[in-house]
Every structure is written in C-alpha cells, then in structure tokens.
Amino acid sequence: MSINRLFFIFLCLVFHSAFAQDIAQQFPIAKSFFPNANQFGEIEGTPPAAPIYKDKELLGYIFETVSVAPIPAYSGKPINILVGMDMAGKITGTKILEHHEPILLVGIPEQKLQDFSNQYIDKKVTDRVKVGSGSQPDHIYVDAITGATVTVLVVNETIMRAAKKIAISRKIMEAKNRANLAKVLMDHNKPATWQDLTGNDAIRRLHLNRGDIDKAFEGKETNETNATTEEERNKEFIDLYYTYLDVPTIGRNLLGDDQYKWLQTELKEGDHAIAILANGTYSFKGNGFVRGGIFDRVQLEQDQTITFHDLDYFRLSDVYAEGMPEFKEMAIFIIRAANEFNPAEPWTFELLVRRQTGPLSSIFSNFSSQYQLPNDYLELPPPAVTLIEEDPIPIWLTVWHEKTFQIIVLLAGLFCLSLILILQDWLVRYPKLLKRIRISFLIYTVVFIGWYSLAQLSVVNVLTFVNAVMNDFQWETFLIDPLMFILWGFVAVTLLIVGRGVYCGWLCPFGALQDLINQVARYFKVKQWEFPDLIHERLWAIKYIILLGLFAISLQSLGQAERFAEVEPFKTVIILHFQRQWAFLFYGVLLLILTIFNHKFYCKYLCPLGAALAIAAKMRLFDWLRRRNECGNPCQLCAVRCEVRAIDKTGHINANECHYCLDCQVTYWDDHDCPPLIAKRKRKEKSHKAKQSVKQMEQAIGAKSGLDKINKP
C-alpha cells in the first residue's frame, strides 16, 4: 500500500470531528509534525490518539485536544487543537482546528492564534510553560496575544494538560507517584490571630512596589513611564495575602463561624477554597472581567495551571481574625475537583500584571509566590506508589456545575413562560397586565438569555444536530453547553405542543430585541411600511431557500456552513455585543433599522432558524389559539392587526409564521374590540333594555292600579 494511501486512511480517522478541514489540506500539516513518518495507526486508547510510525518504529502520537482536555475558553466552548508529540514527550507540531473565540474576530487575525500555538513546538510535556514574562528559572515563558489574554491562557492549559495526559497514558512519562490526597485535619480548630497565621506561613504574602514592576518590564517598550525617584519606586503597587481556607484554624478564624459553615456548603467533594486579600493600586480581579469569563490576573500552579471562572469566585466582605489590617479588595476562589489539587503538596500563586505597548496592544509579566500548608494542619497519608487515576467526572458535569447560577435563572424564566402559556386564556382578558408581562419577558430574553448568557440559538445548532444524527451522535457534545441544551429541550417540547411561535416570539434574543425596537417606534407613531400581500407571501420563501442552501453546504463541510450562517446577525448583535468588523456591524444594524418600519423584518423573511423550526413544528399536537366562525368572514380585524402577518384573509392562523404574541387572543376575548363579540354584546344590551322597559311599564301600570283603588269612593 502506498504512503499516500496510508496518509489518507489515517487522516480519515483522525479528522472525524465536524470541524475538521478538508483531507487534502491536512495532509502536509500532519506530515510536518513527523517528516520521517510513513505509517499511521488508528485512533485508539483512552484518551484517544493515533500512533505514528517510521516502518515499525513508533515515533509518537497525534491527537485532538478536544478529545483529551476540552477546557472551556472565553466563548464557553473548548478550543480544538491538533497536536503531535514524539516518544521523548516533545511537542512536534500544533494546528488550530476549531474555536469560537469572539475576541479573535475583533481586529485580531486568526493567524495570531496559530502563531501562538506554534510556540509550543519543541517544548516538552515536562516543561513548566507560562504565558507572558517572568523571572522563575524553572519556567519557560511564551509570548501572549495582545487583547486575547484569556484565550491564550486556555490554549496554554489545553495543550499542556492534553499532552501530559497522553504522555502518561502511553508511558512516555510516569504519573507522579504519590499517596491519596492528604486530608485536612478538620478537628484542628484553635484560636489564632492574624500574627499567628502569618507567622507560621499559613497566610502568605506577595508584596510588589512600583520598582519591582518596572524591573520586570525592563528592556521592553511600553506606554508607561518608569519611576524616576526612590519615592516613586517604593510606592506600593500591590500588597497581597493569600491562604488555604479549608483548615478550620485558618478558615474559622479568618471568616468567622457562620461564613466558614457557609463555605463548607459551597464546596463539593474534591473542591478546595483559597482567600485573596489585597491593598494597592493594582486590582487582582481586574476591571475587564465579565460574567461567564475567566479571571486573567490570578492563577495557581500545581503540576498544571489552574484558572478560575466566574462561578469559582465569591465576594468576601467580612473578616474576623484578630489584629488583621483592613483590605480594600477581598475574594474567595474555589479550586474545582477536576483540577486534582492536593493541599498537602506545594503550589504556586501567580499574579499577572499587564502594561500597554500601544493603543490596542499590551504585554504582561508573571509574579509568583510559593505556598506550602503547615504540616500541623494536615493528616499526611503513608507513602504509596500507585498512580493517580484519571478524573472520572465527565467534563459536561463540571461545566453544568460552573454555570449553576445561569441555569437556575434560565429555568425560572422558562417556568414563568410555561405558566404564561398554560394561563393564556385568563391572562389575555387583562391586556394591560399581559403587555407588562410580555415586555418584561422580552427584556429578560435580550439581556439575560442573550447578552449575558450568550444563549442565542442558531441554525448552526440545527445543522450540528443533524450532522451528529447522521454520523456519530453523542449526548456529551450537546450537554457541554447547559444553557443551550436546556433551551433546545424546552423548544423541542413547545414545538411538539403548539409550534415554533413560542421560541420566535418569546425566547429568541434577536427577535425580542427587534420586537422591543418596533414597539418603541410604534409608540412614537413611526409609520409602518408593509409589502403587498402578493409580494409578502413570496418573500416568506426566502428563509426556506437559505435553510436548504446551508443544509446542502453542511453535508460537505459543517465548518463552511457555519461561515455562511453569518446570514444570521446573532453573533454580531447578541454574542459579540456589536464589537465586530464594520461589514458585520453594518448588516446587523441595518436589520435592526428595518424593524423600526417593518415589524421583525428579518424573522419574517430571512431567518433560516425560524424556517427549520417551522418544518419541525409540522408535528405539533394542539392549536391553543382560539378562533370564531366569523373570523375571516366577515371579520378581518385580527388579520389586519397581526404584526407578523401570520393570519390570512380566511381567518386561519399560519402556524409556520405565527410568533405567539397572543394579541389576537386579547381581541378574541374583548367584547369591546372583537366585532362578533361587540354585536353579541349589543344584542344582549338591547334585549336587556327591552326587558327593563317592559318591567318599568308593568311597574307603572301596577302603581296606577293601586292609586285607582285608593281613590275609588
């Protein structure tokens, strides 16, 4: 069999993910990892990797990091990197296969991420690689990408953690022989002052002045001027203290009994907590941190880099240790069980300090301090030689745990929406109440589901699901994003019950934003412009054509389909908060401007996701929207008022286009607005008046007869 044929078979096996590029394009990349290779094995083992041979000699392995260490990045999704590693544990090549990092779309070329990953070539799996600059002699430092600190920190952790797992599993390196994790002496609970805890090194200090920072950036051009006087050099930059909180003697004395008990309830099995307290001009939390992101100024190292996400952080407001100074910034960070942290072993606290080198560029340096918990606080196990097993906790469970807050708020919102749907026949009889509820929910959808949680569903999700069903379906692929999974589950149920309108009218952030904009426009009496019926009905077909085109492209390349799916403005307007190149920004803003004059223009005519949901909604079981025999003949009121024009002249509601706003149901129950009900009410009122007249006449006649009897002689 020829070498080319072997390469082709290998690459068919390796690039099995939906985001893998064309085989012909990957051939020279794989060859560049191992120039002498002429044989390739199948993907195998746990974690999966493909062996590379020269004749019968094993040269190393190629693997995808998403299958080994799927660490969520800034986007909430892992960055998938193809990595080659030889039998000496040296990285021979890297290739970025797939990422969803929005920050790289804001003026940062994609090539920069590839250039960054290329710095790991020739690094060994045993090397302690850090991003930025620093002075620790046992560390190797790589340059960061300006403006993408969080992303490169995750890439560093992804490559090194995945390479280490492959190396250990293939016996390229040995796992660190150590006993089971040490146990904190929970009965070690003695009164201790601040001086006691700092004196025995239970609380450690990292103190930096302006001169220390200037020295770290010496020889590098930055926008900041170095201190020139001794007074300026001695000016405090940050005075930081950090400690391990699980030990009762530390945690109880520092936090107080109530806070310490609360902390224990927050810690799951295998979790640990540290406290950080600081004064100075530099914030260890940073001003650029956003919910759903990663702290990019503090991290730990113990065999591997440990970063902190937003759900690992708790604000610390009250401290009680006797004699402790005041701090203007305090926090608790949780070290999750997946990091396999061992409090009995030394670990390193690292502070990253950034300096601008230009209007949009910066570099940062790494300052570190060692920590070793005093042995008095630990129950040290006897020596052992057993290897530590791989963490059995699925990565998706870790992600769900990290997003507990978002999940709770989303479920609460979906519960409220379910109540609205169940009670709709009662709610529509109170138009003002329903309007307030609907506007509030639309704001919740835009702000929380969209801009905060970034849980905007997309036609790409539909194409990914179809592709997974046609190939190798795995629930873990979809469980990795809990908010999207929950939303899709709710949408699937509502599609089956009442159709697509519940998502399009209530849960789509971009649709909700359009709706709110149009309501404001109507409030200020902006004239609405509509297409004639003949053109309007033809324009409906455009979104289905777009959907078919994207589906056809996805059969060849899902990655290519994702690029063409930019016909959806969701990424620009919702995910990236309008922070994008001018062409995408122009397109998104244009659609929002159009909705001022034509209600939900994009949703009606262009949205491929709406088209996909309409097709799936053909299986709906119920029609909860009520209609009368007079609807359409002769009454046309609802058809005229329907803002998405989903009601035709016959009175029939087109479920493919309905957004379930419930406006027609408000009219349906209003006997002062619905013409059939008005006529019925007037007949009742007329009949009631007639009865009242007869009754009054009878009363008058009776009264006259009584008078006649009284006056009769």
Three-class SS string for 269-319?
CCCEEEEEEEEECCCCCCCCCCCCCECCCEEEEECEEECCEHHHEEECCCC
Res. 14 pLDDT band, cuts 50 70 90: very low
Contact 131, 157 (CB under 8 A): no
Contact 631, 675 (CB under 8 A): no
Do 425 and 544 lie in one domain? The reply is: yes
Q: What is the mean pLDDT of the chain?
A: 82
Is the model's pLDDT at 514 over the cut of 90? yes
The stretch 74-103 carries a mean pLDDT of 83
Do 432 and 574 lie in one domain? The reply is: yes
DSSP letters for 485-524: HHHHHHHHHHHHHT-THHIIIII-HHHHHHHHHHHHHHHT
Is the model's pLDDT at 636 over the cut of 70? yes
The stretch 78-106 carries a mean pLDDT of 82
Q: Which of 395, 428, 446 is the last residue of a domain?
A: 395
What gap in Å lies between CA 559 and CA 695, rounded to an integer?
A: 80
Q: Which of 347, 370, 395 is the last residue of a domain?
A: 395
Is the model's pLDDT at 58 over the cut of 70? yes
At 181, is the secondary structure helix, strand, or coil? Answer: coil
**What integer pLDDT is reported at residue 35 of this predicted model?**
87
Q: Per the domain annotation, does 176 fall within a domain?
A: no
Do 72 and 91 lie in one domain? The reply is: yes
- The pLDDT tens digits of the residues spanning 394-416 come to 556 766 876 788 899 999 999 99
At 655, is the secondary structure helix, strand, or coil? Answer: coil
330: left (phi over 0), alpha (psi -120 to 50) or beta: beta
pTM score of the predicted model: 0.50
Q: Per the domain annotation, does 595 fall within a domain?
A: yes
Q: Per the domain annotation, does 296 fall within a domain?
A: yes
**What integer pLDDT is reported at residue 556 of this predicted model?**
79
Do 54 and 161 lie in one domain? The reply is: yes
Do 160 and 189 lie in one domain? The reply is: no
Q: State yes or no: cis peptide before 382, omega within 30 of 0.
A: no
Q: Per the domain annotation, does 178 fall within a domain?
A: no
**What integer pLDDT is reported at residue 515 of this predicted model?**
94
How many Cβ atoms from other residues are within 10 Å of residue 512's Cβ? 26
Do 326 and 407 lie in one domain? The reply is: no
Do 321 and 361 lie in one domain? The reply is: yes
Poorest-pLDDT segment among 136-145, 310-319, 471-480: 471-480
Do 694 and 555 lie in one domain? The reply is: no
Poorest-pLDDT segment among 26-30, 385-389, 431-435: 385-389
Do 349 and 410 lie in one domain? The reply is: no
Do 654 and 682 lie in one domain? The reply is: no
Q: From 293, 294, 255, select the one nearest 274 (Cα to Cα).
A: 255
**What integer pLDDT is reported at residue 21 of this predicted model?**
37
Q: Which of 366, 395, 424 is the last residue of a domain?
A: 395
Q: Per the domain annotation, does 535 fall within a domain?
A: yes
Question: 137: burial class by Cβ within 10 Å (0-12, 13-18, 19+)?
Answer: exposed
**What integer pLDDT is reported at residue 102 of this predicted model?**
59
Poorest-pLDDT segment among 90-94, 331-335, 396-400, 645-649: 396-400
Q: Per the domain annotation, does 86 fall within a domain?
A: yes
Residue-range definition of the domain harbouring residue 376: 183-395
Poorest-pLDDT segment among 141-150, 286-295, 313-322, 551-560: 286-295
What gap in Å lies between CA 577 and CA 106, rounded to an integer?
A: 11
The stretch 274-299 carries a mean pLDDT of 78
Do 534 and 613 lie in one domain? The reply is: yes
Res. 544 pLDDT band, cuts 50 70 90: very high
How many Cβ atoms from other residues are within 10 Å of residue 401's Cβ? 17
The stretch 244-254 carries a mean pLDDT of 90
Res. 11 pLDDT band, cuts 50 70 90: very low
The stretch 74-95 carries a mean pLDDT of 86
Q: Per the domain annotation, does 307 fall within a domain?
A: yes
Of the CA atoms within 13 Å of residue 352, those in its CB half-sphere come to 23
Q: Per the domain annotation, does 175 fall within a domain?
A: no
At 246, is the secondary structure helix, strand, or coil? Answer: coil
- The label of the residue with tokens 């899709």 reads 488
**What integer pLDDT is reported at residue 710 of this predicted model?**
63
Q: How many domains does the chain have?
A: 4
DSSP letters for 572-600: IIIISTT-S-HHHHHHHHHHHHHHHHSTT
The residue ranking higher by pLDDT, 320 or 662, is 662
**What integer pLDDT is reported at residue 26 of this predicted model?**
43
Res. 706 pLDDT band, cuts 50 70 90: low
Do 592 and 477 lie in one domain? The reply is: yes
- The pLDDT tens digits of the residues spanning 547-588 come to 999 988 888 776 677 778 889 998 889 887 887 778 889 999
Is the model's pLDDT at 149 over the cut of 50? yes
What are the tokens at 63?
């693997």
Res. 360 pLDDT band, cuts 50 70 90: low
